[in-house]
A and B are shown apart, each in its own frame.
Chain A
Amino acid sequence: MLLLLLGIIVLHVAVLVLLFVSTIVSQWMVGNGHATDLWQNCSTSSMGGVQHCFSSSANEWLQSVQATMILSVIFSVLSLFLFFCQLFTLTKGGRFYITGVFQILAGLCVMSAASIYTVRHPEWHSTSDNSYGFAYILAWVAFPLALLSGVIYVILRKRE
């Protein structure tokens, strides 16, 4: 029983870490010498290795991607907090519904953020020789893990 609890917590924390890294690190799209992400574009000049960073454009779609990524982090943190609350206050045999609901919401937010980014990214940078960076991949990885974690919470029953 304790092992199961530990496993679930580890999964939840892993999802949280993935979401944080994906939101903050600047590697959603990488090209030769420059990397862009949700918050800034950084480019390293070829000579001297000096890095210039500019803020990303104020495009509405980019703002909605930022907003949904932030929301997913918020929901995941709330879900962790509610899990510990419910662990001590739930009656025997009860299910962790609220925790699961918030975790599933976090997963849906990450999915919508990554989808909007995939569809609309030509609007705010025009260069075409770009490949997706690792932060983008982490966002897509976090989505099924978050859903899985949420579903586990909904199915799980509290035992003594």
Chain B
Amino acid sequence: MAAGAPSSSPSPILAALLFSSLALSRVQAIVVYTDKEVHGAVGSQVTLYCSFWSSEWVSDDLSFTWRYQPEGGRDAISIFHYAKGQPYIDEVGTFKERIQWVGDPYRKDGSIVIHNLDYSDNGTFTCDVKNPPDIVGKTSQVTLYVFEKVPTRYGVVLGAVIGGVLGVVLLALLLFYLIRYCWLRRQAALQRRLSAMEKGKLHKAAKDSTKRGRQTPVLYAMLDHSRSTKAASEKKAKGLGESRKDKK
């Protein structure tokens, strides 16, 4: 009984744990990214990019491997290997002294540069990345084409000419409208200032006449109270009014 009970109860739990770990590990995989095609000119260099996505953190045991399969050939030879922080470059094969490691494992970049291209370099390059414990995944391939002169892709010149001319025309139009708007605004401001000055002169003259108008009724009111002769009071008022005018 005691022997039977422990044997039966952990086994379904163990089975469940095993199944879940298997399922999880199936979701884990490395995904490698490279270009599809790369064009290079004879004698120049070309960069073969390789990047990856992994569900694990970048470990110290990360390794990159580049393989080369010549055009029309069937075997792929290994030309580059990077492991444990040390790059190993081909020193005896066709790529002797032509490969340069420019990748950064901590940036998930495993790119290499091939210098001094030749027509015999046409072929397919495979990038293989292993990030223990994440080792299951598909590799990615990039095909290298070597030309005498790299042809520009169709549409680059077309797009550039259309975009350039339209851009220049639009810019010229915008500039023209901006300058015209500024000039019109300055004209309007000048006009306003001119009319304001004229208005100011008239307004000043009107102000003076109203001031005089306001003061004389006071004088007349005082003179009414005094009860002196009308002619004498009028003469006085006139004299005072004139003196006040002269003061102004």
User: A residues bordering B, Cβ < 8 Å?
Assistant: 58, 60, 63-64, 66-68, 70-71, 74-75, 98, 105, 109
Contact = CB atoms under 8 A, between A and B. Distances in A.
A63 B166 contact: no
Given A64-B158, A71-B162, A71-B165, 10 more contacts: A58-B152, A63-B154, A63-B155, A63-B157, A66-B158, A67-B157, A67-B159, A67-B161, A74-B166, A109-B165
Contact of B162 (A60, A67, A98, A105): A67
Contact of B166 (A58, A60, A64, A71): A71
Which 6 residue pairs of A and B lie closest in terms of their CB atoms, listed nearest first? A67-B161, A58-B154, A63-B157, A63-B158, A67-B158, A60-B157
A23 B57 CA distance: 57
B151 interface: yes
B169 interface: yes
A10 B174 CA distance: 30
Interface of B: 151-162, 165-166, 169, 173
A58 B151 contact: yes
Contacts of B152: 58, 60
Centre residue among A58, A64, A66, A70 by max chain B CB count within 10 A: A58
A75 B165 CA distance: 11
Contacts of A64: 157-158, 161
17 contacts: A58-B151, A60-B157, A63-B155, A63-B157, A63-B161, A64-B158, A64-B161, A67-B157, A67-B159, A67-B161, A67-B162, A70-B158, A71-B162, A71-B165, A74-B166, A75-B169, A109-B165
Given A58-B151, A58-B152, A63-B155, A105 B161 contact: no
A70 B164 CA distance: 13
A89 B230 CA distance: 71
A74 B157 CA distance: 18
B156 to A, nearest CB: 8
A75 B173 CA distance: 13
Nearest to B153: A58
Contacts of A105: 169
A60 B155 CA distance: 9
A104 to B, nearest CB: 12
Contacts of B165: 71, 109
Contacts of A66: 158
B89 to A, nearest CB: 37
Contacts of B158: 63-64, 66-67, 70
Nearest to A66: B158
Contacts of B151: 58
B158 to A, nearest CB: 5
A103 to B, nearest CB: 13
A71 B161 contact: yes
Contacts of A98: 173
Contacts of B155: 63
Contacts of A60: 152, 157
A68 B161 CA distance: 8
